[in-house]
């Protein structure tokens, strides 16, 4: 039976429904404001803009850094936001049931794109938690000035703002150095930041590294120790393919003069290894280089910002990692062998892995102006251009991957051209409104493809239809142009100093990504390598996919004390998506058999298809100051989130919808000490996507401890996640494919969900200078 969430839900409801109101008048003092380091960045608005983004506070970022190397996980305390399980630094964010490319993610103003058939290098994986300065989330109804080509919302991650010497100070040298250790998985890492600056020039270097071995669950979750590699086994409680190593560096230059600022940033990331417990492949090399140039100027009429950037990912390399079978073919023992024996030479009977390469380039330009018409009216206008190219190819490795190169996506391109206009107006002391429209033209294309052997479709048990599928794909006109319109209307009513009501409607549109449109092979062995969601199934694309169109209505009731040390936010929402990109059991092709269309307990091959969907739910969050005493301040924080997703065409559940979940924490602060005891709980996930044979998960409750102490320039963090070492399955972790003969569609067991981490003790130390 699933863990029942009612005690947590009741606690949150009782806590914030009755106890928060008296605190509005009684709370004293104000929360510390962040220091403004840059006098060129000026905001003319005295009130919060519409809508208010959910911002991860600097103190929360500092608290979570020692416990994670995954920037997306820093969003875990925002209600309605969760993450798909993936690699150790690369989980995929979800906003109210909509994930990955349905969210616009900007990193230092750059629209980054995952360049991988398994989305192993998503945008937030390119910024280390130790280098995050600000992290904001716009959920659902997003201003057109920060939205575009997305239907779920927008995540904005920025590195720290440049630091300059104070007026009259000749020279400034500052920085910090830190490190962490986590017991489960033997994870450790270090980071450094150093700045040299005058009043007008600033130079900053940041660097970080993180690495970990496989982690252990809170108990045994599988029935075999075999990995597919001779002489290598894994304990029954060890989650295979969860190790990683990541290296990040950035060099930043900034110059300011008067009301003008110019920044240039050069970034480099190298991930030598990031293994995946819910994908058939592992990422064994990934290099990203970025150049990012920004101008910001303040004028009498308002602000102007312009940015140009270039990103290159090359190489991105995947193959079977150390916990998965590497040798295939008759000479290695055949498909039924538990372990693949090494063989040679590489031939039709001997395969050495299945190498897969990707390279991409991403060039973008954005401009934006905030024009103050008068004291009550602000106009925002702007535009963007983005040119993205992608090549995805698989060199021959023997056996069925022979004798030539397989073109997964050849000469792929995706171009965006966007324009927006937005009007924010203060009607009177109580009413603030925002209206906006955005147009985007998205053009995609891809070149001709071929299979490993373009002369045959295979035979017998090895039918693969490579020749047939490639010919059908190549015969089509593959260029597609989408003309997308976003519209947003929002209003906020402020009846008094302790409450706000915000409500609105929006239309948002997203065009398909290149993998959804242009992957072409119905062969199961190729299809399972094209999987963006980690469910163990195989996927291939659909050139005729239409853009997704989402219509959302939501409202937020915000009750708060003047200093916001006590507050309650309640947000119900409803979204209907036309041409939602879901999946169907493939109708025609090498793997589209009667068994594939009907099985309920195996992995299957699917094709992307437009259907209709609805998502609705509610987010609740709040905090309350319980007492200010001689031994510190005591408070409670809590959140509750519920989302329901349904395919209206098939009456099926949508994939990977986070079930009812919540958090409740007792906090304590005293001087430099900050500590908390936290309970995290989730209901069972039993409303699943049947077309995908999605795996159900049981409910659970976990207890976490965390604390930090800051003394002068030194900060020490210490915590325990999953204090009682409970076993649980990740509701959004996907299917466990972390060991064994993962190349074959059903060469590994179906029905095992990726488990969460068992008890982990962590510590971190930071020294500022």
Using pLDDT thresholds of 50, 70 and 90, give the confidence band for residue 564: confident
Structurally, the chain folds into a number of domains equal to: 1
pLDDT at 581 over 70: yes
CATH number for 433: 2.40.170.20
Domain assignment of residue 742, yes or no: no
* Residue from 443, 452, 513, 451 nearest 477 by CA: 443
Domain assignment of residue 708, yes or no: yes
To which residue do tokens 């594939």 refer?
596
> What CA–CA distance (Å, rounded) separates 165 from 161?
13
> What CA–CA distance (Å, rounded) separates 196 from 261?
17
CA 697 remoteness from chain centre: 21
Domain assignment of residue 273, yes or no: yes
> What CA–CA distance (Å, rounded) separates 605 from 590?
10
pLDDT digits 0-9 by tens, 30-74? 333 333 444 444 333 444 566 678 999 999 999 999 999 999 999
Domain assignment of residue 203, yes or no: yes
Provide the residue range defining the domain that includes 572.
Answer: 6-737+747-768
Residue 18 parent element (H or E): helix 6-18
Domain assignment of residue 1, yes or no: no
pLDDT digits 0-9 by tens, 197-213? 999 999 999 999 999 99
- In the predicted model, what is the mean pLDDT of residues 381-403? 97
CB 442 within 8 A of CB 481: yes
pLDDT at 13 over 80: no
Domain assignment of residue 290, yes or no: yes
**Strand, helix or coil at 659?**
coil
> What CA–CA distance (Å, rounded) separates 76 from 73?
5
Question: 169-200 burial, b if ≥16 CB within 10 A, otherwise e?
Answer: eeeeeebbebbbebbbbebebebbbebbbebe
> What CA–CA distance (Å, rounded) separates 422 from 439?
12
- Lookup: tokens for 644: 């329901």
Beta strand residue intervals within 140-275, DSSP E: 153-159, 172-182, 187-197, 201-212, 244-257, 260-274
- Lookup: tokens for 475: 């015969």
Using pLDDT thresholds of 50, 70 and 90, give the confidence band for residue 154: very high
pLDDT at 393 over 70: yes
* Residue from 513, 536, 551, 665 nearest 605 by CA: 536
Q: What is the pLDDT of residue 50?
A: 66
CB 80 within 8 A of CB 695: no
Residue 484 parent element (H or E): strand 480-496
Q: What is the pLDDT of residue 463?
A: 84
Q: What is the pLDDT of residue 194?
A: 98
Q: What share of the chain is helix, strand, coil (3-state, %, to 5)?
A: 10, 50, 40
In order of 172, 596, 605, 606, the CA distances from 592 in angstroms are 66, 6, 7, 8
CA 49 remoteness from chain centre: 25
Query: Helices then strands (H, E): number in the chain?
Result: 7, 33
pLDDT digits 0-9 by tens, 515-553? 999 999 999 999 999 999 999 999 999 999 999 999 999
Q: How far apart are the first and last CA of the chain?
A: 53
Beta strand residue intervals within 565-699, DSSP E: 567-585, 605-629, 632-647, 661-670, 673-682
Q: What is the pLDDT of residue 48?
A: 59
> What CA–CA distance (Å, rounded) separates 541 from 513?
10
> What CA–CA distance (Å, rounded) separates 186 from 766?
19
Cis preceding linkage at 345, omega within 30: yes
pLDDT digits 0-9 by tens, 419-432? 999 999 999 999 99
Q: What is the pLDDT of residue 462?
A: 79
Taking the model in full, what pTM does it have? Answer: 0.92
pLDDT digits 0-9 by tens, 217-275? 999 999 999 999 999 999 999 999 999 999 999 999 999 999 999 999 999 999 999 99
In order of 45, 591, 604, 748, the CA distances from 595 in angstroms are 61, 9, 9, 17
Domain assignment of residue 665, yes or no: yes
pLDDT digits 0-9 by tens, 328-387? 999 999 988 989 999 999 999 999 999 999 999 999 999 999 999 999 999 999 999 999
CB 738 within 8 A of CB 239: yes
Bridge partners of 426? Answer: 432
Domain assignment of residue 731, yes or no: yes
Q: HEC states along 38-88? A: CCCCCCCCCCCCCCCCEEECHHHHHHHHHHCCCHHHHHCCCCCEEEECCCC
pLDDT at 2 over 90: no
pLDDT digits 0-9 by tens, 432-445? 999 999 999 999 99
CB 399 within 8 A of CB 425: no
pLDDT digits 0-9 by tens, 438-496? 999 999 999 999 999 999 998 767 789 999 999 999 999 999 999 999 999 999 999 99
């Amino acid at each position: 039976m699933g863990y029942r969430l009612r005690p947590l839900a009741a606690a949150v409801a009782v806590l914030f429904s009755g106890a928060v109101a008296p605190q509005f008048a009684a709370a004293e003092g104000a929360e510390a404001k962040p220091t403004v380091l840059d006098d060129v960045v000026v905001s003319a608005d005295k009130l919060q803009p519409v809508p208010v983004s959910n911002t991860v506070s600097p103190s929360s970022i500092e608290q979570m850094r020692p416990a994670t190397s995954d920037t997306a996980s820093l969003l875990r305390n925002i209600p309605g936001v969760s993450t798909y399980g993936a690699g150790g630094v690369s989980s995929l964010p979800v906003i109210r049931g909509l994930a990955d490319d349905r969210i616009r993610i900007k990193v230092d103003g750059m629209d980054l794109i995952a360049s991988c058939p398994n989305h192993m290098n998503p945008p937030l994986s390119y910024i280390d938690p130790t280098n995050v300065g600000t992290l904001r989330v716009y959920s659902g109804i997003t201003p057109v000035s920060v939205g575009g080509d997305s239907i779920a919302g927008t995540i904005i991650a920025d590195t720290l703002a440049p630091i300059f010497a104070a007026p009259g100070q000749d020279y400034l040298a500052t920085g910090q150095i830190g490190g962490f250790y986590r017991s489960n998985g033997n994870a450790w890492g270090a980071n450094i930041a150093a700045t040299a600056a005058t009043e007008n020039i600033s130079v900053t270097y940041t660097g970080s590294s993180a690495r970990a071995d496989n982690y252990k669950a809170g108990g045994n979750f599988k029935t075999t120790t075999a990995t597919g590699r001779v002489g290598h086994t894994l304990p029954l409680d060890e989650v295979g393919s969860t190790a990683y190593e990541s290296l990040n560096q950035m060099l930043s230059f900034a110059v300011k003069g008067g009301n003008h600022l110019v920044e240039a940033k050069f970034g480099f990331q190298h991930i030598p290894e990031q293994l995946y417990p819910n994908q058939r492949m592992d990422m064994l090399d990934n290099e990203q280089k970025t150049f990012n140039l920004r101008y910001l100027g303040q004028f009498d009429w308002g602000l102007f910002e312009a940015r140009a950037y270039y990103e290159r990912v090359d190489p991105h390399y995947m193959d079977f990692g150390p916990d998965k079978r590497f040798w295939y073919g008759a000479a290695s023992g055949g498909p039924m062998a538990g372990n693949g024996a090494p063989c040679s030479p590489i031939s039709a009977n001997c395969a050495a892995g299945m190498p897969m390469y990707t390279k991409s380039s991403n060039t973008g330009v954005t401009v934006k102006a905030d024009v103050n018409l008068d004291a009550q009216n602000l106009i925002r206008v702007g535009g963007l251009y983005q040119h993205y190219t992608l090549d995805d190819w698989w060199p021959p490795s023997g056996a069925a991957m022979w004798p030539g190169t397989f073109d997964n996506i050849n000469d792929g391109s995706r171009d965006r051209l966007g324009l927006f206009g937005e009007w924010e107006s203060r009607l009177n002391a109580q009413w603030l409104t925002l209206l906006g429209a955005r147009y985007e033209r998205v053009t995609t294309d891809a070149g001709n493809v071929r299979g490993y052997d373009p002369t045959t479709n295979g035979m017998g048990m090895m039918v693969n239809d490579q020749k047939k599928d490639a010919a059908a794909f190549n015969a089509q006109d593959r260029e597609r142009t989408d003309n997308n319109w976003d519209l947003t209307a929002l209003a906020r009513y402020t009846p008094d100093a302790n409450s706000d009501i915000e409500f609105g409607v929006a239309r948002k549109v997203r065009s398909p990504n290149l993998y959804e449109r242009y992957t072409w092979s119905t062969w199961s062995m190729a299809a399972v390598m094209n999987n963006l969601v980690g469910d163990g199934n195989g996927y291939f694309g659909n050139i005729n996919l239409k853009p997704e169109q989402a219509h959302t209505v939501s409202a937020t009731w915000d009750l708060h004390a003047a200093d916001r040390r006590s507050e309650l936010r309640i947000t119900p929402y409803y979204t209907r998506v036309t041409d939602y990109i879901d999946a169907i059991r493939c109708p025609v092709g090498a793997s589209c058999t009667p068994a594939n269309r009907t099985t309920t307990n195996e992995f299957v091959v699917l094709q992307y298809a437009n259907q209709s969907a609805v998502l609705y739910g509610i987010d609740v969050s709040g905090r309350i100051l319980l007492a200010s005493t001689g031994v510190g301040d005591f408070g409670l924080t809590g959140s509750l989130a519920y989302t329901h997703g349904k395919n209206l065409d098939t009456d099926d559940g949508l994939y990977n919808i986070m079930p009812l979940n919540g958090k409740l924490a007792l906090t304590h602060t005293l001087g430099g000490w900050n500590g908390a005891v936290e309970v995290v709980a989730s209901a069972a996930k039993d409303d699943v996507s049947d077309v995908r044979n999605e795996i159900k998960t049981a409910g659970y409750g976990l207890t976490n401890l965390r604390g930090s102490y800051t003394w002068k320039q030194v900060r020490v963090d210490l915590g325990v996640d999953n204090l009682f070492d409970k076993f649980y399955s990740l509701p959004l972790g996907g299917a466990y494919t972390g060991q064994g003969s993962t190349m074959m569609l059903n060469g590994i067991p179906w029905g095992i969900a990726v488990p969460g981490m068992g008890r982990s003790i962590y510590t971190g130390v930071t020294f500022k200078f």
